[in-house]
Structure 1
């Protein structure tokens, strides 16, 4: 049996989605590794496979809805919903930076929800979605991601699975060894830094 962690990371490397260098993360921290999920998810066969794999890794039980925070969770969230055969919705940040449901999406109290992201680093976005959906009466049964950059440490308030777990070092910019080496910092991704 193949190692799903290795297979997932191999797909990221093959598609150029696993980057090394000197990066400024959304949190403002620096890192020598970055995962640009959009580069691997642009290939439907990887997106579909990851969606099925996440569905299989999640605990058994009824799920009514899959929800993902925009932007990174959209494609993989949709694929997990397809694997479950349920509807898919997503959250977005409002003008004040707070997670919200828009576009006519809603939750019926008691609906069982799984939250899906592409990459979890601190778990902050997933935690925000958990809190939002619970405040609307949803039963959040689990969370999932393709990659867990926290080494398994991120606490999102519900059981969580990932297809691959990494132990990636992050640095405060004031004590970053990459900055000390004079390496130029790059900000990849879709969101501005904090």
Structure 2
């Protein structure tokens, strides 16, 4: 799936937003991709996950035994990636602020895991999820996301594949351009800003 077709999926879902957004990292941005909206249509979620699964390097795809995603934003795309790869899918969550497997989810020692996110900006959530997976006995062989917003700057310590790279500027809250500072900020994500 080409970048413009991926963006068309977001546009069709009303998920490509323009304004002043507070990201989970605390950074500010003039554009936001609301993955929850694009994934609320099961057939669209299936198309996007299939395209992302097809984009995985064969050497990663062939190793994957289970897909693990961070809650909240990664749950749907993680489930759909599990379906696309024909592998079980589970998620880590933060009941006390740190990711962990719960709800009866467990990994076999050394089980090969693909960690799947909706959006990666700084990579903080991804690295935290990878740490939780490793601590639970899994071996993360790769990471994937619908959207890479890192401007090429993220290093997750494992091969990383994104369906689309969206290079949107981000700003510190005290260094906003005037046109962004003039717009009220909205926090659309599921995690409190840093």
Q: TM-score, length-normalised on structure 2?
A: 0.93
Work out whether residues 115 and 144 of structure 2, in 8 Å CA contact, stay in contact via their aligned partners in 1.
yes
Q: Shift in Å at residue 10 of structure 1?
A: 1.2
Query: Aligned partners of 1:157, 1:147: CA distance in 2, in Å?
Result: 18
- With structure 1 as the length reference, what TM-score do the two structures score? 0.93
Question: Gaps spanning 5+ residues in structure 2: where?
Answer: none
CA deviation profile, 1:74-106 (whole Å, cap 9, x unmatched): 1110011011111111000132x1111111111
Whether contact under 8 Å (1:130, 1:157) holds in the other structure is no
2:74 is matched with which residue? Answer: 73
Deviation (angstroms), 1:62: 2.6
Would you identify which runs of 4 or more consecutive aligned residues in structure 1 move more than 4 Å?
178-181
Shift of 1:190: 1.8
| Distance change >3 Å, CA 184–CA 38, structure 1 → 2 | same
2:48 corresponds to which of 50, 54, 74: 50
Q: What count of residue pairs does the alignment treat as equivalent?
A: 191
Determine if the alignment matches structure 1 residue 87 to structure 2 residue 79.
Answer: no
Return 5+ residue gaps in structure 1 as ranges: none
Where does 1:81-160 land on structure 2 (aligned, <5 Å)?
81-95=82-96, 97-160=97-160
- State the shift of 1:21 in Å: 0.6
Contact 1:65 1:114 in 2 (8 A): yes
Root mean square deviation of aligned Cα: 1.4
